[in-house]
Every structure is written in C-alpha cells, then in structure tokens.
C-alpha cells in the first residue's frame, strides 16, 4: 500500500523562527512530489519536485527532494503569523495507462505565534 | 482564488438522505478530481474524470458516485448518508493529467 508520512503532526513556533517540515514516502510508480498549503479552506499549490537534489525556492519557502532516501523537506525561514496553516505533502503516482493520482499525507499543522 | 468553484459551501442533512455536490473546473482544465477530507483520515482521493470519462478511482464508497458533463462541470452524489460521511469535500482540476491540481473552496457536509 502506498504511504505518505509527514512529521511532525503539529508544530508551534515564534515569529522569526526557521522550521523544517518532513515528508517521507513508500510508493510504487512515483512521478513527482507536491507541497500544498491549506489555510482555512482549499489547499493552495506551493511546489512540485521531480528530481533529486534540486532545490525549489519561493521567497522564504524552499523544498528539496531525495529520491534515494524517499523523502522531502519544506523549509520556511523567518516565519510570520501568516505562515500558520496545514502543510500537505502529496505524491503523484502512475496507476496505469495515462492515469495518475495524488496520495496525500495527513499534514503538518504549523502555528506561528507573534 | 484558484478558479475552481464549488457549491454549496455548507450542507447539513440527516442520515439516510442523498445530496449532490457540484464543481466547475478552471477554464481550460479537462480533469476533475474529488477528495474527501476528515480529521482522522486526512485528504483522501475519491475519483477522477477526464473530459467526461472516469479515469481513476480511489477510496470511493459504493454509495457515492460522480459524473462529468459535456460542459466539464462535475457532480458528486452521496446517498444513504451516514454520520461518518461528515467531512469537507474538495474538487480539484488540472489541465489533462498534469500533476498540479488546483483546489476549489470545498463543501462542508454535516450529517446529523
């Protein structure tokens, strides 16, 4: 069975701290790994990673994938209260023919206190 | 705003009833995906449609069904509702089978 495991489940930090969120996976037919941020409602796309060792960066957020060790990390530097959200990791899997599906981890709840 | 719309925003109903959730994908997207999100299970993939045809199935119960219409909007039908069906139901869309899916605001279903 395909598994995506995120850690920690929950994290509370102060503004200005740096956080690292982890995502490990055990899947067959991996295509890519995606990070989403979910605030009050819909998950919003952050990054898609397909190759090992290449860092994706957007402002204070960055992410990297290790396809040998089967994990990814999401770093957030100089955290702000607006970073408070659930961060979801998803793995895109080939399920046959031209069909794919996303399998999500349960998420990490990040709370940034002022 | 992702461009994906879902109605209704909230739905309260009783056990045994049937409801229909609606989704309109982003302009140009042919693929629609349905997800269920509950506190204990996280975000679970239910089903995918591509240009009107079912493409992939996930953990969808037999009491649930979906379809995608010629104008590409989609409906998720939930019948014989149980208390455990209370959850957030998301629709997402993508261009063809692209990895990046864009999520709608969700429908919060409460079964009493």
Q: What is the pLDDT of residues A88-105, one digit of tens each?
A: 999 998 888 778 888 999
| pLDDT class of B98 with cuts at 50, 70, 90 | low
Q: What is the pLDDT of residues B44-79, one digit of tens each?
A: 999 999 999 998 888 899 999 999 999 999 999 999
**Whether pLDDT at B8 is above 70:** yes
How far apart, in whole angstroms, are the C-alpha atoms of residue A36 and residue B28?
22
Average pLDDT, chain A: 93
Q: What is the pLDDT of residues A35-72, one digit of tens each?
A: 999 998 899 999 999 988 889 999 999 999 998 999 99
Contact A34 B2 (CB under 8 A): no
| Cβ A93 vs Cβ A1: under 8 Å | no
pLDDT at B97: 63
Nearest CA in chain B to A50: B99
Contact B100 A98 (CB under 8 A): no
Residue A48 touches chain B, beta carbons under 8 Å: yes
Average pLDDT for B88-93:
96
**Whether pLDDT at B96 is above 80:** no
pLDDT at B72: 95
pLDDT at B1: 82
How far apart, in whole angstroms, are the C-alpha atoms of residue B53 and residue B71?
13
Contact B101 A45 (CB under 8 A): yes
Residue B55 touches chain A, beta carbons under 8 Å: yes
pLDDT at A9: 94
Q: How far is A68 from chain B (nearest CA, A)?
A: 21
| pLDDT class of A107 with cuts at 50, 70, 90 | very high
Contact B90 A42 (CB under 8 A): yes
Contact A95 B56 (CB under 8 A): yes
Could you give the percent of chain A with pLDDT greater than 90?
A: 76
Q: Where are the alpha helices (DSSP H) in chain B?
A: none
CB-count burial class (<10 Å; 0-12, 13-18, 19+) for A18: exposed
Average pLDDT for B97-111:
88
pLDDT at A25: 96
Phi, psi at A83, each rounded to 5°: -85, -10
Residue B24 touches chain A, beta carbons under 8 Å: no
Residues of B in contact with A88 (CB under 8 A): 42-43
**Whether pLDDT at A26 is above 90:** yes
């Amino acid at each position: 069975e395909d598994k995506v495991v995120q850690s920690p489940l929950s994290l509370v930090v102060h503004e200005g701290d740096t956080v690292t969120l982890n995502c490990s996976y055990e899947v067959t037919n991996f295509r890519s790994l995606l990070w989403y941020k979910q605030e009050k409602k819909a998950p919003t796309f952050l990054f898609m990673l397909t190759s090992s060792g290449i860092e994706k960066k957007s402002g204070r957020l960055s992410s990297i994938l290790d396809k040998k060790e089967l994990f990814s990390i999401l770093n957030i530097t100089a955290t702000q209260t607006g970073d408070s959200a659930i961060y979801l990791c998803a793995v895109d899997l080939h399920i046959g023919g031209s069909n794919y599906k996303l399998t999500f981890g349960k998420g990490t709840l990040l709370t940034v206190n002022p | 705003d992702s461009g994906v719309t879902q109605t209704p925003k909230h739905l309260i109903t009783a056990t045994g009833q049937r409801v229909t959730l609606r989704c309109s994908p982003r302009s140009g997207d042919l693929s629609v995906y349905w997800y269920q999100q509950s506190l204990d299970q996280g975000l679970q993939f239910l089903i995918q449609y591509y240009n009107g045809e079912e493409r992939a199935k996930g953990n969808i119960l037999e009491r649930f069904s979906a379809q995608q219409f010629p104008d590409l909007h989609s409906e998720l039908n939930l019948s014989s509702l149980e208390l455990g069906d209370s959850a957030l139901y998301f629709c997402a869309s993508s261009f063809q089978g692209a990895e990046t899916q864009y999520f709608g605001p969700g429908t919060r279903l409460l079964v009493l």
